[in-house]
Amino acid sequence: MKSAYFLQHFLKGTTQILMAVPAIEVLFFQDRGFLEQLLGRTFTDLEWQLASQQPRQLLNTVQGGYQRFVETAIAHLNGEAIAMLRQHPLIQDLIKFLITLEGLSTEAFASS
């Protein structure tokens, strides 16, 4: 289930609506090989299909559960992993929005 996250910058009324699954683990499910390496196991096609729709439910079934996944994911964040995560459409939209805010904030302070 996707939820709309409404972001607004009040200096000039810039508005951005981002559609996102309200759980950060979805970012790790864009690359099957990366996730399998991270968890140290391979997924069946059926598991992968479930993962694309309900990532947390799948993570609760792996050894150590969801909490272990979070700890492992954070411990393995290196430059390559971060570069891969940056490619996710949600992260791209968030980056674009934040760059817009940065430009608006600079303009607001310059005109003060």
Taking the chain (112 residues) in runs of 10, the rounded mean pLDDT of each run is: 47 58 72 85 88 83 83 84 85 84 60 50
Q: Which residues of 73-85 are buried (b: 16+ CB within 10 A; e: fewer)?
A: beeeeeeebeeeb
**Helices (H), ranges, the chain:** 32-39, 45-53, 55-59, 65-75, 79-86, 89-111
pLDDT for position 77: 82
Interaxial angle between packed helices 79-86 and 89-111, expressed in degrees from 0 to 180 and rounded to the nearest 10:
80
Spatial distance between the Cα atoms of 93 and 2, rounded to a whole number of angstroms: 15
